[in-house]
Structure formats: C-alpha cells, structure tokens
Amino acid sequence: MKVSRHLALPLLAVAIGLGVYLSLDLPGAPQPVPQVSYTLLDGNSASTAQWPGKVVLVNFWATSCAVCVHEMPAIVATHERFKARGFDTLAVAMQYDAPASVADYAQTRRLPFGVAIDNTGAIAERFGGIRGTPTTLLVDKRGRVVRRFVGQPDFAELHGLIEKLLAES
C-alpha cells in the first residue's frame, strides 16, 4: 500500500500521539508498594517497609539513558526542595547498567539521595515489571503508589502532587 505524501505526515502525527498516550500511566487507584529490600551504594540496607509516613519518589533509571541523565538534575532539585518535609528519593539503577558507571555517576554528581543497583532485576519486577527508563513512581505516606510517570515527568505537575501528598495526614 502506497501512502501519499499528504497523508503520511498526519498519519505519523497520529501514530506518535497514540504512542505518547499509551506510554502515559494515567492516575488510577493507588497500588500498595511491594515489600522490597535493597542495598544502597553506601552499603546500607533499606526496605520499602521503612517508607510509611513519608512521600517517596522512586526513579528507575540508567546511566546509558539520555533522558534519565537529562532529568536527573530536576530529580535532585525536587529532592532538595521537599526533603525537609518528609520526602525522600530512591534512584534504582536498572539491571543492565554497569555498577561502576552507576557508582561513578552518583559520586561525581553528588546525588543527595539513596541509589540502589538492581543487579538481578528483582526490584523492577516487584514494582510491576519496569522495563523502560526513566520510569518514576510516587508513593504516598500510606505506602501506596499513587502515580507512575513513564518518560520524563512534567515537574510542575509532579511538584503539585508532592505538595498535595505532603499535606495529607
């Protein structure tokens, strides 16, 4: 089938729009955070069981992901903006990311939050089979995933949601 030039561009725009729409994780019913233990780059052990009472941003990323690297300063700024109010951030490097690259990135950029390397892929699997990066999850004080952003989040929207979640008792 041959598509005329006049139809090719509108069809491409529809296809891109549909792809963007399907990649969004629209808000729905909050899902409980899975029980996951992990080790941070500094050697400390942690668990999602420690999260209730805090709003937590979980960012699945990779040093080989251009969008991840591009958005990381905004993730850092978000963490710095809200950390004094009961907000925390966990960056989870994907299984395919080289541990040395992750450690070097975290150290040279002085990431101010916990960084875990998902060596086995178990963390990504427990959080719903995360495959693409970046994928960012927002967890409320009750330990529920209330929003999933696939791709770079709209940080104004994210900050508004964080404000709302921090205000909840």
83 DSSP assignment = G
Q: Are residues 90 and 57 in contact, defined by beta-carbon separation less than 8 angstroms?
A: yes
pLDDT digits (tens, 9 = 90+) for 94-112: 999 999 999 999 999 999 9
Decide yes or no: CATH 3.40.30.10 for domain 27-167.
yes
Query: Per the structure block, which two tokens stand in for 64?
Result: 């080989």
Q: Are residues 119 and 129 in contact, defined by beta-carbon separation less than 8 angstroms?
A: no
pLDDT digits (tens, 9 = 90+) for 46-102: 999 999 999 999 999 999 999 999 999 999 999 999 999 999 999 999 999 999 999
pLDDT band at 26 (very low <50, low <70, confident <90, very high): very low
Domain map (residue ranges) of the chain: 27-167
Rounded Cα–Cα distance for residues 163 and 17 (Å): 29
My answer on whether omega of the bond before 73 falls inside 30° of 0, hence cis, is: no
